[in-house]
Amino acid sequence: MAASQKFFADSNPETWQQVYELYDTALDLRASKITKPGGKKTLKELDKWFQQELPDEISAREPKYMNKEELTKLMKWKLSRGKFRPRLTEMVQTNDATLVETTTKKAFKKVSKSLKGAIKELCILKAVGPATASAILAAGSPEHAPFMADESMNAIPGIGALKYTEGQYDDFSAEIRDCINRLKDAGSSDWTPHKVELTLWTHYIIHQMKPDLLKNLKPVKRDSTAEDEDNDGKKRQKTS
């Protein structure tokens, strides 16, 4: 945990990108711990769907929404990737299909203005707490919402014991936004809350299961001469 928390404070975009690119490796490591027959394949298929296919399906709708079948499948993904709680899959299937669509539609409309409001909207659905709500928003609005994964939260100093409350999600998402600002200040602007959260998850899993992979990371430093020239140029602009 300490190593991932130290990584979280690193503002070198190149190092972050290298870790992000290890996501598939981290997923393989996570899948290797699944003992249920077919579980490894199921996790990888569900993750591909959640990370690549579901966002496109949601974004193709105007206005955006998620249907009951997708919500049920999302719950299976969440439980396969994290702690398995079979009762949640049963409970989420009791939601009315129309209610799922109207509720997620309202949440996606709110998320750009109020992440807290979007989370609260989704929590009226059965079996949907802040963590599952954050997964819904991360799938449909990755530019606004990170997924409340245990490993990602454990990688952030000061989050404390995991409570899965709306207040803790507020703290988590605020830390993620601060991290994005640090990376932007360091010269990288292509980071979203979901991408940052995925990178933290990747670092945490790899450090726990195969830490030697992280020893191969090579932080890239800006050329000092180029940086000096850039600073000189800024000074000239100010004085001219």
Tell me how far CA of residue 16 lies from CA of 27, 71, 177, 234, in angstroms: 17, 30, 15, 27
pTM score:
0.90
38 Rama class: left (phi>0) / alpha (psi -120 to 50) / beta: left
Tell me how far CA of residue 72 lies from CA of 59, 94, 109, in angstroms: 18, 10, 21
Tens of pLDDT, residue by residue over 21-68, are: 999 999 999 999 999 889 999 999 999 999 999 999 999 999 999 999
Task: Report DSSP state, residue 174.
Answer: H
What is the per-residue pLDDT for 70?
98
Query: Average per-residue pLDDT in the chain?
Result: 91
Task: Report DSSP state, residue 33.
Answer: T
What is the per-residue pLDDT for 238?
41
Tens of pLDDT, residue by residue over 96-148, are: 999 999 999 999 999 999 999 999 999 999 999 999 999 999 999 999 999 99
What is the per-residue pLDDT for 85?
79
- For residue 101 the two structure tokens come to 């669509």
Whether the pLDDT of residue 225 is over 50: the answer is: no
Report helix, strand or coil for 137: helix
Give the span between the Cα atoms of 174 and 192, in whole angstroms: 13
- For residue 74 the two structure tokens come to 């999302």
